[in-house]
Structure 1
Amino acid sequence: MNTRLGAWTLPVFILLITLTGCGMNEEPNNIPSAGTSTSSAAADDLEKMSSDIRGLIAVKGEASDSRAGVMDCAGKDRKKYFRVFHPWNFYPASPDQLDEAMKQLKQELPKRGWTIVQYGPDRSRDKNLTLTADNDERKSSVKITQDAKNDPPKLSLMLVSGCYEIPAGQEIERF
């Protein structure tokens, strides 16, 4: 059952991000501009942001090895504008450290320029604890879900950027 759930969860989550905007609480047309960049450079920046967030978790464990992807900006020309997203998971060395990892993120993210815009249980049957934070300076958002009942327990993280414009003469790479 967990494999099946994971197979459709990411596409649904990406669709929700596309519909809800960078801050995950904004209207689609209010997605902030993240400036001008190539999709490769923007993906590298978002992966660096993920690495910075990983460094805030003062719990031993392993992070999944995933790469950033590119998606459209809702309501904008898909040949000129794009967003990047980076999904990854953190598996604590011990399941009883999951609460500590989430507590650490809630405490440390605001010290690094993130504003927590939502914190509490989600609407799932398991009532997973979720944290959504925006970084206005870096025009990015992160949603962290504590999947305590997964086997193995984990934190699921999804970072998403604002809308970038591709530099003149460049093409958006889709990956």
Structure 2
Amino acid sequence: MTDTSDTSDTSAGNETGDSPTGTASPQVPPAGTAGTEEAVAAVKAVSSQLYDFVGVPGTATAPGPGIRACEGKDPDTYFRVHHPWSFQPTSGADNDTAMANLKEKLSTGGWVVQDSYRDNSPNQNLNLVADHDARKVSVWVVAYSKRATPSIGIEVTSGCYRVPEGQKVQHS
């Protein structure tokens, strides 16, 4: 499910928030046929599951998913869902526990950890990239444990959906 971007490149996941998955690439797998609302709901469900995986008290940011074009495909017919959000534990000391919980859970229930590495930022943040092939989603997680306010950045990205015949992608 993961894009062609080399997630072992330690420039990915730096403090600036650059994504290892970046924009859609031709190797992004098809995710099937769905309307944008249905696809967004599916990605929200994945984000909710990841929130549960964290396993420590805290708060998540509120921004919702967005729609992106699938590179090389008709933007009125094909799209991806992209949902970046962050989690801030109630206690900064819980950041490492939350990340350990995510790493463990992202190795079960259809999830497969594709990569685990430390980026080349001054803080050498722990990064995880995992895929769920049945759900056609990929997640990139970054632990910002050494910040003044520790947090975890989470980015969920779907495969490339095609809207049903007669519909167009709804860019909301």
TM-score by length of 1: 0.85
Residue 103 of structure 2: aligned partner: 106
Aligned length: 158
Structure 2 Cα separation of the partners of residues 122 and 149 of structure 1: 13
Q: How does 1:38-77 map to 2 (within 5 A)?
A: 38-77=35-74
Structure 1 ranges of 4+ moved more than 2 A? none
Structure 2 Cα separation of the partners of residues 133 and 118 of structure 1: 7
Residue 19 of structure 2: aligned partner: 13
Residue 30 of structure 1: aligned partner: 27
Shift of 1:58: 1.4
- Residues 32-71 of structure 1: per-residue CA shift (max 9 Å, x gap): 0000011111011101110011111111111111200000
Q: Please list every run of 5 or more consecutive structure 1 residues that lacks an aligned counterpart in the other structure.
A: 1-7, 22-27
Structure 1 Cα separation of the partners of residues 121 and 92 of structure 2: 20
Matched, 1:88 2:81: no
- Residues 73-132 of structure 1: per-residue CA shift (max 9 Å, x gap): 111111110000101111111001111000001111221211101102012222111000
Shift of 1:169: 1.1
Residue 160 of structure 1: aligned partner: 157
Matched, 1:148 2:150: no
Of all paired residues, the percent bearing the same amino acid is 35
TM-score by length of 2: 0.86
Structure 2 Cα separation of the partners of residues 128 and 73 of structure 1: 29
Shift of 1:143: 0.2
Structure 2 Cα separation of the partners of residues 88 and 53 of structure 1: 11
Structure 2 Cα separation of the partners of residues 145 and 172 of structure 1: 30
Q: Please list every run of 5 or more consecutive structure 2 residues that lacks an aligned counterpart in the other structure.
A: 1-14
Structure 2 Cα separation of the partners of residues 65 and 144 of structure 1: 17
Shift of 1:9: 4.3
Structure 1 Cα separation of the partners of residues 45 and 106 of structure 2: 15
Between 1:146-155 and 1:159-168, the stretch displaced more is 146-155
More helix by share: 1
Q: Which secondary structure state, in structure 1, belongs to the residue aligned with residue 80 of structure 2?
A: strand
Structure 1 Cα separation of the partners of residues 114 and 19 of structure 2: 18
Structure 2 Cα separation of the partners of residues 89 and 115 of structure 1: 21
